[in-house]
Chain A
């Protein structure tokens, strides 16, 4: 692991889970914020959901896309869900 990167667990939900094809993944990233991380993964996996429509939770609590990503955290990306 390079000094400038961190290892995070990413959790995917609902439509993002379908598009990523995974429930969770452990990855190493140079991203320093959830925004950077989402942009990186969205481009890599063609997630096709604008960042403004995605909420992030870090270690079980809702956070902001501009929060600082620490090594070892669990990052959950949550798209809007409307079905009923």
Chain B
């Protein structure tokens, strides 16, 4: 709208008569960032330092642009869409200086003032971002560790490029996480669906008494993001189960188990083996603890090699039942952080095929050698059978081909041979909806999801499911695929 008027135009605070130009900039909370839908924002600042640094930016702007006035106000706390996050005002004799100064002040504030921004997304997740705000110099932040003989910038770079999933922000996670963040692991995701309780605080040292009832994942992620603004930290408020574990672990360089129950530990083991992601498992009991590395490519096998028949929860009591001294998961969590850093940088010798037993009452350790069990149902020959495209289907009596990919994936690359589509995410829950058949072959993009589904189903005694090895990627091109291999096609 362009308008001419005889009425005085409303003005903001008075300025001196020589001020020919007043530029005010409002930065507001908008609904999108980086392609993700944002629902609200949180700003947190180290107020004393922020105000001091902000004041020096304004002084510098006054000198640099010959301003008559300069001011800036930045919000903290929780902001909703449309609210003003920052207001910058520059007053000068002419418009050019005023515009330039306003822009310069804004950029400097984002670059230099220690303000952390957290975005809450429409999908329920949230992220602390460094944004363009204070970014300490990596060379200074990591100086003491890079100096260590054998470490150097190369090891630091490997950490910066690494991603770690911490499953559980309990006693183990609270100890491991700050050191992982401090060491500069580039992306850390904290997964936990639990909330802080008063009887957690003696061992879960990232939380405060005033935070009872709040999300552990969120608080832990906030702490880590403040501790090291050079890394990316994500909080995921979710619970890992056999059905969703693969989605959570896929794509990480390392997964750390900070859970306190067998069901989750074995689901994690299964998913990590499927996805080819190494897993650091630790558990504690009284004054004792144990830690091992499940390396999908190693000789030591997996958690299920040790326990072919996973123990049920409750068979030996939990922390809630038998009690725990806070420092015990602390020590084991620190060992996990140490092993994680070593594994990701390639420094020293990791646990390898060992299981380390730690007895803190006697201050002793004992390392037991593990070996892969060739017939293991998770990592050995006992895993669910996979079939190849074409010929084997017939031999194995496969009657129906099920595509477990998402509708969007199927739309991009249809699989004409598929009889039914039932997406991986809801597969186990919707098993009853499948048409009756003597057998089922499952297909996905690469065979990872179907391998995992077939294994879970086999463990439940549902041996009529097989996975197609390599998924659609391994599908022979064109007419080499014979649907004659599907005698009972419905």
Contacts and interface: CB of A to CB of B under 8 A. Distances in A.
Contact of A62 (B168, B315, B370): B370
A62 B290 CA distance: 14
A23, A62, A78 interface centre (most CB from chain B within 10 Å):
A62
Nearest to B355: A62
Contacts of A11: 366
A67 interface: no
Given A13-B357, A55-B306, A62-B306, A80 B316 contact: yes
Given A81-B290, A82-B316, A84-B170, A15 B368 contact: no
Interface residues of B, number: 43
A3 interface: no
A41 to B, nearest CB: 17
Given A14-B288, A15-B285, A83 B357 contact: no
B159 interface: no
A52 interface: yes
B311 A53 contact: yes
B360 to A, nearest CB: 12
A62 B356 CA distance: 12
A42 to B, nearest CB: 14
B232 interface: no
Given A76-B368, A79-B316, A82-B283, A13 B307 contact: no
Contacts of B170: 84
B368 A60 contact: yes
Interface in A26-84: 49-50, 52-53, 55, 57, 60-62, 76, 78-84
A18 interface: yes
Contacts of A79: 316
B214 interface: no
A67 to B, nearest CB: 13
A54 to B, nearest CB: 10
Contacts of A18: 286
Contact of B371 (A50, A60, A62): A62
Nearest to A14: B285
Contact of A23 (B362, B368, B370): B362
Interface stretch (B134-142, B253-261, B403-411, B465-473): B253-261
Contacts of B262: 80, 82
Nearest to B313: A82
B286 A14 contact: yes
Contacts of A55: 306-307
Contact of A52 (B172, B290, B309, B322): B309
Contacts of A82: 259-262, 265, 283, 285, 311, 313, 316, 318
B318 A60 contact: no
B329 interface: yes
B369 A15 contact: no
B447 interface: no
B316 A49 contact: yes
B316 A81 contact: yes
A82 B269 CA distance: 13
Contacts of B290: 81
Contacts of A49: 315-316
A15 B284 CA distance: 11
26 contacts: A15-B322, A23-B362, A49-B316, A55-B307, A60-B368, A78-B368, A80-B307, A80-B316, A82-B265, A82-B283, A82-B285, A82-B311, A82-B316, A82-B318, A83-B171, A83-B260, A83-B283, A83-B319, A83-B322, A83-B324, A83-B329, A84-B172, A84-B258, A84-B260, A84-B282, A84-B283
Interface of B: 168, 170-173, 257-262, 265, 282-286, 288-290, 306-307, 309, 311, 313, 315-319, 322, 324, 329, 355, 357, 359, 362, 366-371
Interface of A: 11, 13-15, 17-18, 23, 49-50, 52-53, 55, 57, 60-62, 76, 78-84
Given A14-B316, A53-B316, A57-B368, 10 more contacts: A49-B316, A52-B309, A57-B369, A62-B369, A81-B283, A81-B288, A82-B316, A84-B258, A84-B282, A84-B284
Closest 5 CB pairs of A and B: A84-B260, A61-B369, A81-B283, A80-B311, A14-B285
